[in-house]
Amino acid sequence: MNLCAIICEYNPFHKGHEYHIQKAKEITNSDGIIGVMSGNFAQRGIPTIIDKWERTKMALSSGVDLVIELPAIFSVSSAEFFSNGAVKLLDDLKVIDYLCFGSEYGNIDLLKEIAYALIDEQQNFKFFLKSYLKDGYPFTTARSLALQKYLVHINPNINAKELSEILASSNNILGIEYCKSLLNCKSKIKPITIKRLGSAYNENDLNSIFSSATSIRKFIKDNNAIDELEAHLPINVFKIMKDLFHNNYNFINEESLFPYIKYKLATEGESLRAIPEASEGLDNKILKEFYSCNSFNELVSRVKSKRYTYTRISRILCQYFIGFEKYPIEILRKESPAYIRVLGLNKKGADIIKSIKKNSPLEIITKLPKEYNSMLKLDIQATKAYSIINQSIHYKEDFLRSPIIIK
Protein backbone atom coordinates (compact mmCIF):
# COMPACT_ATOMS: atom_id res chain seq x y z
CA MET A 1 0.00 0.00 0.00
CA ASN A 2 1.01 3.57 -0.71
CA LEU A 3 0.27 5.40 2.56
CA CYS A 4 0.24 9.06 3.53
CA ALA A 5 0.31 10.41 7.09
CA ILE A 6 -1.07 13.65 8.50
CA ILE A 7 -0.09 15.02 11.92
CA CYS A 8 -3.16 16.78 13.26
CA GLU A 9 -5.21 18.16 16.13
CA TYR A 10 -8.60 18.80 14.48
CA ASN A 11 -9.56 21.22 17.23
CA PRO A 12 -12.16 21.14 15.76
CA PHE A 13 -12.16 19.65 12.26
CA HIS A 14 -13.06 22.25 9.59
CA LYS A 15 -13.18 22.72 5.81
CA GLY A 16 -9.47 23.52 5.62
CA HIS A 17 -8.73 20.09 7.09
CA GLU A 18 -11.08 18.47 4.58
CA TYR A 19 -9.23 20.25 1.75
CA HIS A 20 -5.88 19.10 3.19
CA ILE A 21 -6.97 15.44 3.18
CA GLN A 22 -8.32 15.64 -0.36
CA LYS A 23 -5.14 17.31 -1.69
CA ALA A 24 -2.91 14.87 0.20
CA LYS A 25 -4.66 11.93 -1.48
CA GLU A 26 -4.45 13.62 -4.86
CA ILE A 27 -0.76 14.62 -4.67
CA THR A 28 0.54 11.35 -3.21
CA ASN A 29 -1.92 9.03 -4.98
CA SER A 30 -2.18 7.26 -1.66
CA ASP A 31 -4.19 4.15 -0.87
CA GLY A 32 -4.83 5.29 2.68
CA ILE A 33 -4.52 8.21 5.11
CA ILE A 34 -3.22 7.81 8.67
CA GLY A 35 -3.84 10.63 11.13
CA VAL A 36 -1.57 11.02 14.16
CA MET A 37 -3.77 13.17 16.36
CA SER A 38 -3.27 14.97 19.66
CA GLY A 39 -5.43 13.64 22.47
CA ASN A 40 -7.45 15.88 24.76
CA PHE A 41 -4.88 18.69 24.96
CA ALA A 42 -3.32 20.64 22.10
CA GLN A 43 0.19 21.84 21.31
CA ARG A 44 -0.61 25.49 22.13
CA GLY A 45 -1.24 24.51 25.74
CA ILE A 46 -5.04 24.40 25.71
CA PRO A 47 -7.64 21.66 26.21
CA THR A 48 -9.33 20.56 23.00
CA ILE A 49 -12.83 21.94 22.52
CA ILE A 50 -14.12 18.40 21.91
CA ASP A 51 -12.72 15.12 23.24
CA LYS A 52 -10.43 12.87 21.21
CA TRP A 53 -13.10 10.25 20.41
CA GLU A 54 -15.58 12.73 18.92
CA ARG A 55 -12.75 14.33 16.93
CA THR A 56 -11.79 10.85 15.72
CA LYS A 57 -15.35 10.40 14.39
CA MET A 58 -14.97 13.69 12.51
CA ALA A 59 -11.67 12.57 10.96
CA LEU A 60 -12.92 9.12 9.94
CA SER A 61 -16.06 10.55 8.35
CA SER A 62 -13.90 13.01 6.37
CA GLY A 63 -11.40 10.75 4.65
CA VAL A 64 -8.93 9.57 7.30
CA ASP A 65 -8.69 5.77 7.46
CA LEU A 66 -6.81 5.25 10.72
CA VAL A 67 -6.48 7.62 13.70
CA ILE A 68 -3.78 7.00 16.30
CA GLU A 69 -3.08 9.14 19.33
CA LEU A 70 0.03 11.28 19.70
CA PRO A 71 1.20 10.71 23.31
CA ALA A 72 0.53 13.64 25.63
CA ILE A 73 4.23 14.09 26.42
CA PHE A 74 4.62 15.31 22.81
CA SER A 75 1.21 16.81 22.09
CA VAL A 76 1.57 19.46 24.83
CA SER A 77 5.15 20.45 23.99
CA SER A 78 7.11 22.86 21.81
CA ALA A 79 7.08 22.49 18.02
CA GLU A 80 10.39 20.62 18.21
CA PHE A 81 9.25 17.97 20.69
CA PHE A 82 5.78 17.78 19.11
CA SER A 83 7.25 17.05 15.67
CA ASN A 84 9.96 14.69 16.97
CA GLY A 85 7.45 12.53 18.80
CA ALA A 86 5.00 12.40 15.89
CA VAL A 87 7.66 11.74 13.23
CA LYS A 88 9.39 9.01 15.25
CA LEU A 89 6.04 7.34 15.79
CA LEU A 90 5.28 7.46 12.06
CA ASP A 91 8.75 6.26 11.09
CA ASP A 92 8.50 3.30 13.48
CA LEU A 93 5.26 2.19 11.84
CA LYS A 94 7.46 1.14 8.89
CA VAL A 95 4.59 1.51 6.41
CA ILE A 96 4.38 5.28 5.74
CA ASP A 97 5.49 6.66 2.38
CA TYR A 98 4.56 10.35 2.72
CA LEU A 99 4.03 12.96 5.42
CA CYS A 100 1.78 15.74 4.16
CA PHE A 101 1.43 19.00 6.09
CA GLY A 102 -0.03 22.43 5.46
CA SER A 103 2.18 25.51 5.37
CA GLU A 104 1.77 29.18 4.59
CA TYR A 105 4.67 28.98 2.12
CA GLY A 106 3.48 25.91 0.22
CA ASN A 107 6.85 24.96 -1.31
CA ILE A 108 8.82 22.11 0.22
CA ASP A 109 12.28 22.89 -1.20
CA LEU A 110 13.17 25.95 0.89
CA LEU A 111 11.56 24.44 4.00
CA LYS A 112 13.86 21.43 3.59
CA GLU A 113 16.88 23.70 3.05
CA ILE A 114 16.09 25.53 6.29
CA ALA A 115 15.76 22.18 8.09
CA TYR A 116 19.18 21.11 6.78
CA ALA A 117 20.70 24.37 8.06
CA LEU A 118 19.22 23.86 11.53
CA ILE A 119 20.64 20.35 11.75
CA ASP A 120 24.02 21.34 10.34
CA GLU A 121 24.40 24.38 12.64
CA GLN A 122 27.60 25.76 11.14
CA GLN A 123 29.82 28.04 13.20
CA ASN A 124 28.44 31.23 11.64
CA PHE A 125 24.89 30.21 12.50
CA LYS A 126 25.88 29.47 16.12
CA PHE A 127 27.61 32.85 16.34
CA PHE A 128 24.52 34.69 15.07
CA LEU A 129 22.28 32.72 17.43
CA LYS A 130 24.39 33.52 20.51
CA SER A 131 24.42 37.18 19.54
CA TYR A 132 20.62 37.42 19.35
CA LEU A 133 20.17 35.45 22.60
CA LYS A 134 22.59 37.83 24.28
CA ASP A 135 20.38 40.71 23.11
CA GLY A 136 17.49 39.19 25.08
CA TYR A 137 15.42 37.62 22.30
CA PRO A 138 13.44 34.45 23.14
CA PHE A 139 15.08 31.35 21.72
CA THR A 140 12.59 30.82 18.87
CA THR A 141 12.93 34.46 17.73
CA ALA A 142 16.71 34.41 18.11
CA ARG A 143 16.94 31.21 16.09
CA SER A 144 14.72 32.66 13.36
CA LEU A 145 16.80 35.84 13.09
CA ALA A 146 20.07 33.89 13.13
CA LEU A 147 18.76 31.55 10.47
CA GLN A 148 17.78 34.42 8.21
CA LYS A 149 21.22 35.97 8.53
CA TYR A 150 23.01 32.65 8.06
CA LEU A 151 21.05 31.46 5.01
CA VAL A 152 21.37 34.78 3.21
CA HIS A 153 25.09 34.72 4.08
CA ILE A 154 25.66 31.32 2.45
CA ASN A 155 23.18 31.78 -0.39
CA PRO A 156 22.79 35.39 -1.63
CA ASN A 157 20.05 34.24 -4.03
CA ILE A 158 17.69 33.69 -1.11
CA ASN A 159 15.22 36.54 -0.70
CA ALA A 160 15.73 37.86 2.84
CA LYS A 161 12.22 39.36 3.07
CA GLU A 162 10.59 36.14 1.87
CA LEU A 163 12.67 34.14 4.32
CA SER A 164 11.64 36.43 7.16
CA GLU A 165 7.96 35.94 6.31
CA ILE A 166 8.41 32.16 6.14
CA LEU A 167 10.02 32.02 9.57
CA ALA A 168 7.32 34.24 11.08
CA SER A 169 4.51 31.83 10.20
CA SER A 170 3.57 29.06 12.62
CA ASN A 171 2.75 26.29 10.16
CA ASN A 172 5.95 26.95 8.21
CA ILE A 173 7.88 26.61 11.47
CA LEU A 174 6.12 23.35 12.33
CA GLY A 175 6.71 22.07 8.80
CA ILE A 176 10.41 22.85 9.09
CA GLU A 177 10.46 20.89 12.35
CA TYR A 178 8.81 17.92 10.59
CA CYS A 179 11.50 18.03 7.89
CA LYS A 180 14.19 18.32 10.55
CA SER A 181 12.81 15.35 12.48
CA LEU A 182 12.66 13.23 9.32
CA LEU A 183 16.31 14.07 8.60
CA ASN A 184 17.39 13.37 12.18
CA CYS A 185 15.90 9.88 12.21
CA LYS A 186 17.08 9.20 8.63
CA SER A 187 13.52 8.39 7.66
CA LYS A 188 12.51 7.22 4.20
CA ILE A 189 9.21 9.09 4.57
CA LYS A 190 8.95 11.87 1.98
CA PRO A 191 7.68 15.27 3.20
CA ILE A 192 5.01 17.00 1.09
CA THR A 193 3.45 20.39 1.81
CA ILE A 194 0.18 22.01 0.73
CA LYS A 195 -0.29 25.76 0.77
CA ARG A 196 -2.79 26.87 3.40
CA LEU A 197 -5.77 28.85 2.14
CA GLY A 198 -8.14 31.13 4.03
CA SER A 199 -7.52 32.22 7.62
CA ALA A 200 -4.23 32.02 9.45
CA TYR A 201 -4.28 29.34 12.17
CA ASN A 202 -4.74 31.96 14.92
CA GLU A 203 -7.20 34.22 13.08
CA ASN A 204 -10.08 35.16 15.38
CA ASP A 205 -12.74 35.97 12.77
CA LEU A 206 -14.64 33.50 10.61
CA ASN A 207 -13.50 33.46 6.97
CA SER A 208 -15.48 33.05 3.76
CA ILE A 209 -12.88 30.58 2.37
CA PHE A 210 -11.59 28.42 5.22
CA SER A 211 -12.19 29.57 8.79
CA SER A 212 -9.46 28.71 11.28
CA ALA A 213 -10.02 26.37 14.21
CA THR A 214 -9.25 29.35 16.47
CA SER A 215 -12.10 31.41 14.98
CA ILE A 216 -14.53 28.48 15.27
CA ARG A 217 -13.60 27.89 18.92
CA LYS A 218 -13.95 31.62 19.65
CA PHE A 219 -17.37 31.76 18.01
CA ILE A 220 -18.65 28.87 20.12
CA LYS A 221 -17.16 30.38 23.28
CA ASP A 222 -18.62 33.84 22.64
CA ASN A 223 -22.03 32.83 21.30
CA ASN A 224 -22.79 29.40 22.75
CA ALA A 225 -24.29 28.59 19.36
CA ILE A 226 -23.68 26.16 16.51
CA ASP A 227 -26.10 26.83 13.63
CA GLU A 228 -24.14 29.82 12.25
CA LEU A 229 -21.11 27.55 11.75
CA GLU A 230 -22.81 25.36 9.12
CA ALA A 231 -21.10 27.24 6.26
CA HIS A 232 -17.67 26.84 7.90
CA LEU A 233 -17.70 23.09 8.60
CA PRO A 234 -18.00 19.97 6.42
CA ILE A 235 -21.60 18.70 6.48
CA ASN A 236 -20.71 15.51 8.40
CA VAL A 237 -18.71 17.46 11.02
CA PHE A 238 -21.47 20.03 11.45
CA LYS A 239 -23.94 17.22 12.11
CA ILE A 240 -21.67 15.71 14.80
CA MET A 241 -21.18 19.09 16.47
CA LYS A 242 -24.88 19.95 16.27
CA ASP A 243 -25.81 16.61 17.86
CA LEU A 244 -23.29 17.24 20.64
CA PHE A 245 -24.65 20.75 21.20
CA HIS A 246 -28.26 19.56 21.46
CA ASN A 247 -27.20 16.81 23.85
CA ASN A 248 -25.65 19.43 26.17
CA TYR A 249 -22.08 18.39 25.45
CA ASN A 250 -19.46 20.45 27.30
CA PHE A 251 -17.51 22.45 24.71
CA ILE A 252 -14.24 23.27 26.46
CA ASN A 253 -11.89 26.27 26.39
CA GLU A 254 -8.75 27.25 28.28
CA GLU A 255 -10.66 29.26 30.90
CA SER A 256 -12.04 25.94 32.19
CA LEU A 257 -8.55 25.21 33.53
CA PHE A 258 -8.10 28.36 35.58
CA PRO A 259 -9.86 27.56 38.90
CA TYR A 260 -7.97 24.26 39.18
CA ILE A 261 -4.61 25.78 38.25
CA LYS A 262 -5.16 28.60 40.75
CA TYR A 263 -6.00 26.13 43.52
CA LYS A 264 -2.96 24.00 42.69
CA LEU A 265 -0.64 27.02 42.64
CA ALA A 266 -2.05 28.16 45.98
CA THR A 267 -1.63 24.79 47.69
CA GLU A 268 1.47 23.27 46.10
CA GLY A 269 2.99 26.01 43.96
CA GLU A 270 6.57 24.95 44.70
CA SER A 271 6.03 21.87 42.50
CA LEU A 272 5.72 24.12 39.43
CA ARG A 273 9.52 24.28 39.14
CA ALA A 274 9.51 20.60 38.15
CA ILE A 275 8.13 21.65 34.74
CA PRO A 276 11.30 22.13 32.60
CA GLU A 277 9.89 25.14 30.70
CA ALA A 278 9.20 26.91 34.01
CA SER A 279 12.94 27.33 34.65
CA GLU A 280 14.88 30.61 34.73
CA GLY A 281 12.54 32.06 37.36
CA LEU A 282 9.34 31.67 35.36
CA ASP A 283 7.83 29.65 38.19
CA ASN A 284 8.38 32.56 40.56
CA LYS A 285 6.82 35.00 38.09
CA ILE A 286 3.73 32.81 37.74
CA LEU A 287 3.45 32.39 41.52
CA LYS A 288 3.76 36.14 41.97
CA GLU A 289 1.02 36.99 39.47
CA PHE A 290 -1.67 34.34 39.91
CA TYR A 291 -3.17 35.73 43.15
CA SER A 292 -4.37 38.89 41.45
CA CYS A 293 -5.62 37.25 38.23
CA ASN A 294 -9.20 36.31 37.47
CA SER A 295 -8.75 34.32 34.28
CA PHE A 296 -6.38 32.01 32.43
CA ASN A 297 -5.73 34.57 29.69
CA GLU A 298 -5.07 37.33 32.21
CA LEU A 299 -2.47 35.20 34.00
CA VAL A 300 -0.72 34.25 30.76
CA SER A 301 -0.73 37.87 29.57
CA ARG A 302 0.80 39.12 32.83
CA VAL A 303 3.58 36.54 32.80
CA LYS A 304 4.53 36.67 29.11
CA SER A 305 7.35 38.94 28.03
CA LYS A 306 9.66 39.63 25.10
CA ARG A 307 11.64 36.54 26.11
CA TYR A 308 8.78 34.22 27.11
CA THR A 309 5.94 33.83 24.63
CA TYR A 310 2.23 33.51 25.32
CA THR A 311 2.24 29.94 24.03
CA ARG A 312 5.13 28.89 26.25
CA ILE A 313 3.35 30.19 29.37
CA SER A 314 0.09 28.57 28.26
CA ARG A 315 1.83 25.20 27.82
CA ILE A 316 3.45 25.43 31.27
CA LEU A 317 0.05 26.03 32.90
CA CYS A 318 -1.62 23.29 30.85
CA GLN A 319 1.14 20.79 31.69
CA TYR A 320 0.80 21.73 35.36
CA PHE A 321 -2.96 21.21 35.25
CA ILE A 322 -2.48 17.74 33.75
CA GLY A 323 0.22 16.84 36.29
CA PHE A 324 3.35 16.69 34.11
CA GLU A 325 5.50 17.62 37.10
CA LYS A 326 4.99 14.12 38.54
CA TYR A 327 6.58 12.45 35.49
CA PRO A 328 10.18 12.29 34.15
CA ILE A 329 9.40 14.82 31.40
CA GLU A 330 12.87 15.33 29.99
CA ILE A 331 13.55 11.58 29.83
CA LEU A 332 10.21 10.81 28.17
CA ARG A 333 10.70 13.49 25.50
CA LYS A 334 13.89 11.76 24.37
CA GLU A 335 12.19 8.39 24.04
CA SER A 336 10.36 7.05 21.01
CA PRO A 337 6.82 5.82 21.64
CA ALA A 338 6.82 2.04 22.15
CA TYR A 339 3.14 1.71 21.28
CA ILE A 340 0.39 3.08 19.09
CA ARG A 341 -2.97 3.81 20.66
CA VAL A 342 -5.69 3.25 18.06
CA LEU A 343 -8.52 5.78 18.45
CA GLY A 344 -10.49 4.76 15.37
CA LEU A 345 -10.43 3.12 11.96
CA ASN A 346 -12.46 2.05 8.95
CA LYS A 347 -12.14 -1.08 6.79
CA LYS A 348 -9.07 0.30 5.02
CA GLY A 349 -7.66 1.30 8.40
CA ALA A 350 -8.01 -2.32 9.54
CA ASP A 351 -5.90 -3.38 6.56
CA ILE A 352 -3.31 -0.75 7.49
CA ILE A 353 -3.20 -2.14 11.04
CA LYS A 354 -2.48 -5.62 9.61
CA SER A 355 0.40 -4.15 7.61
CA ILE A 356 1.76 -2.37 10.70
CA LYS A 357 1.64 -5.65 12.66
CA LYS A 358 3.76 -7.32 9.99
CA ASN A 359 6.35 -4.56 9.72
CA SER A 360 6.57 -2.65 13.00
CA PRO A 361 7.89 -3.54 16.47
CA LEU A 362 5.39 -1.19 18.14
CA GLU A 363 2.69 -2.57 20.42
CA ILE A 364 -0.75 -1.88 18.98
CA ILE A 365 -3.19 -0.90 21.72
CA THR A 366 -6.93 -1.14 21.13
CA LYS A 367 -7.69 -1.93 24.77
CA LEU A 368 -5.55 -0.62 27.62
CA PRO A 369 -3.29 -3.28 29.16
CA LYS A 370 -3.13 -3.93 32.91
CA GLU A 371 0.48 -2.74 32.99
CA TYR A 372 1.79 0.28 31.12
CA ASN A 373 4.86 2.48 30.92
CA SER A 374 5.22 6.11 32.06
CA MET A 375 4.39 7.54 28.62
CA LEU A 376 1.05 5.72 28.42
CA LYS A 377 0.41 6.44 32.10
CA LEU A 378 0.68 10.17 31.30
CA ASP A 379 -1.82 9.75 28.42
CA ILE A 380 -4.26 8.19 30.89
CA GLN A 381 -3.58 10.99 33.38
CA ALA A 382 -4.33 13.56 30.66
CA THR A 383 -7.78 12.03 30.11
CA LYS A 384 -8.43 11.98 33.86
CA ALA A 385 -7.52 15.67 34.03
CA TYR A 386 -9.72 16.44 31.01
CA SER A 387 -12.68 14.71 32.66
CA ILE A 388 -12.52 17.29 35.45
CA ILE A 389 -13.35 20.11 33.03
CA ASN A 390 -15.50 18.12 30.59
CA GLN A 391 -18.38 16.43 32.39
CA SER A 392 -19.18 14.55 29.17
CA ILE A 393 -16.05 12.45 29.73
CA HIS A 394 -15.73 9.81 32.45
CA TYR A 395 -12.69 9.77 34.74
CA LYS A 396 -11.77 6.32 33.38
CA GLU A 397 -12.88 6.94 29.80
CA ASP A 398 -9.62 5.51 28.43
CA PHE A 399 -10.50 2.16 29.98
CA LEU A 400 -14.15 2.26 28.94
CA ARG A 401 -13.76 3.21 25.28
CA SER A 402 -12.96 0.96 22.35
CA PRO A 403 -11.70 2.36 19.06
CA ILE A 404 -14.30 4.10 16.90
CA ILE A 405 -15.12 1.85 13.94
CA ILE A 406 -16.64 3.32 10.76
CA LYS A 407 -17.87 0.77 8.21
Tell me which residue of 90, 100, 89 sits closest to 30, measured CA to CA: 100
What distance in Å separates the CA atoms of residue 95 and residue 80, rounded to the nearest whole number?
Answer: 23
Would you state the pLDDT for residue 158?
76
In single-letter form, the type of residue at position 23 comes to K
Residues 247 and 359 in one domain: yes
Residues 34 and 128 in one domain: no
List 179's β-bridge partners, or say none. none
Tell if the pTM clears 0.85, that is, is over it: yes
Whether 298 maps to a domain, the answer reads yes
Judged against a pLDDT cut of 60, whether residue 201 lies above it is answered with no
Residues 273 and 387 in one domain: no
Whether 329 maps to a domain, the answer reads no
Whether 363 maps to a domain, the answer reads yes
What distance in Å separates the CA atoms of residue 268 and residue 287, rounded to the nearest whole number?
Answer: 10
Task: Output the CA torsion 101→3→58→229 (10° steps).
Answer: 40
Residues 26 and 97 in one domain: yes
Whether 331 maps to a domain, the answer reads no
Per the structure, how many domains does the chain have? 3
How many residues are there in the chain? 407
Judged against a pLDDT cut of 70, whether residue 342 lies above it is answered with yes
Judged against a pLDDT cut of 70, whether residue 14 lies above it is answered with yes
Judged against a pLDDT cut of 60, whether residue 13 lies above it is answered with yes
Would you state the pLDDT for residue 200?
56
Would you state the pLDDT for residue 19?
95
What distance in Å separates the CA atoms of residue 47 and residue 386, rounded to the nearest whole number?
Answer: 7
pLDDT tens track for 308-333 = 889 999 999 999 999 999 999 999 99
Judged against a pLDDT cut of 70, whether residue 198 lies above it is answered with no
Whether 299 maps to a domain, the answer reads yes
Percent residues over pLDDT 70 in the chain: 98
pLDDT tens track for 219-268 = 999 998 899 999 999 999 999 999 999 999 999 999 999 999 999 999 99
Domain-terminating residue out of 129, 150, 168: 168
Would you state the pLDDT for residue 316?
97
Residues 10 and 118 in one domain: no
Residues 150 and 91 in one domain: no
Residues 93 and 164 in one domain: no
pLDDT tens track for 347-358 = 999 999 999 999
Whether 153 maps to a domain, the answer reads yes
Judged against a pLDDT cut of 70, whether residue 202 lies above it is answered with no
Residues 238 and 369 in one domain: yes
The string over 274-299, giving b where at least 16 C-beta atoms fall within 10 Å of a residue's C-beta and e elsewhere, is bbebbeeebbebbbebbeebeebeeb
Whether 375 maps to a domain, the answer reads yes
The residue-averaged pLDDT of 275-288 equals 92
Residues 238 and 346 in one domain: yes
SS (H, E, C) the chain: CCEEEEEECCCCCCHHHHHHHHHHHHHHCCCEEEEEEECCEECCCEECCCCHHHHHHHHHCCCCCEEEEECHHHHCCCHHHHHHHHHHHHHHHCCCCEEEEEECCCCHHHHHHHHHHHHHCCHHHHHHHHHHHHCCCCHHHHHHHHHHHHHHHHCCCCCHHHHHHHHCCHHHHHHHHHHHHHHHCCCCCEEEEEECCCCCCCCCCCCCCCCCHHHHHHHHHHHCCCHHHHHHCCHHHHHHHHHHHHCCCCCCCHHHHHHHHHHHHHHHHHHHHHCHHHCCCHHHHHHHHHHHCCCHHHHHHHHCCCCCCHHHHHHHHHHHHHCHHHCCHHHHHHCCCCEEEEEEECHHHHHHHHHHHHHCCCEEECCCCCCCCHHHHHHHHHHHHHHHHCCCCCCCHHHHCCCEECC
Judged against a pLDDT cut of 80, whether residue 137 lies above it is answered with yes
When pLDDT is cut at 50, 70 and 90, the band that residue 119 belongs to is: confident
The residue-averaged pLDDT of 137-145 equals 81
Residues 154 and 207 in one domain: no
Residues 24 and 152 in one domain: no
When pLDDT is cut at 50, 70 and 90, the band that residue 307 belongs to is: confident
Question: Which of residues 198 and 25 earns the better pLDDT score?
Answer: 25
Whether 93 maps to a domain, the answer reads yes
Strand 66-70 to 46-47 pairing: unpaired
Residues 247 and 316 in one domain: no
Would you state the pLDDT for residue 125?
80
Domain-terminating residue out of 168, 185, 201: 168
Judged against a pLDDT cut of 60, whether residue 199 lies above it is answered with no
Domain-terminating residue out of 322, 353, 378: 322
The residue-averaged pLDDT of 125-136 equals 87
Would you state the pLDDT for residue 329?
96
CA dihedral sign, ordered 233, 45, 21, 89: negative
Per the structure, the complete domain to which residue 304 belongs is given by 255-322
Would you state the pLDDT for residue 184?
93
Mean pLDDT over the full length of the chain: 93
CATH of the domain at 62: 3.40.50.620
